[in-house]
Amino acid sequence: MSGQKKSKEYKYLERRIYQIEKNFKFNQSINGITSLQADRLRGLRLLCHAEFEDYFESVALRMLDVAEKKWIERKVANYNLSFSKNGIILYLYRKRCTIINIRLKTIIIDNK
């Protein structure tokens, strides 16, 4: 990301990936990795995936907040406010709906 200011979400993602990687350091033997090390690598991959997912959700929610604010203040429509399946899920998530309600509303939308 040279030339661009890093967002707080991106800085947090970098910090978390570094912490996770630091906690998963191990020395590989000449015979390859052990089954324990293989499990730890799977855990590393899973945790990194979760951190990236959290990053993208945070950025998407911030974009929705900005778009909603523009709509409320100036009635300026924005692509980010389009009520696609993902847009509705993020909107409901932000409003603290339960996972069950989100899934039900997604099923209803998918079946229209």
The answer to whether residue 89 scores a pLDDT higher than 70 is no
The answer to whether residue 104 scores a pLDDT higher than 70 is no
Q: Greater confidence, 103 or 37? A: 37
Average pLDDT of the residues in 30-37:
84
The answer to whether residue 107 scores a pLDDT higher than 90 is no
The answer to whether residue 25 scores a pLDDT higher than 80 is no
Angle 99-104-107 from CA coordinates, rounded to 5°: 125
Average pLDDT of the residues in 38-59:
89
Query: Cβ(56)–Cβ(45) under 8 Å?
Result: no
| pLDDT score at 74 | 83
Q: What is the token pair recorded at 102? A: 């989100």
CA dist 91 and 89 (Å) reads: 5
What is the amino acid identity at position 100? I
What are 29's strand-pairing partners?
32
Task: Give the mean pLDDT of the chain.
Answer: 76
With a pLDDT cut of 70, the percent of the chain lying above it is 66
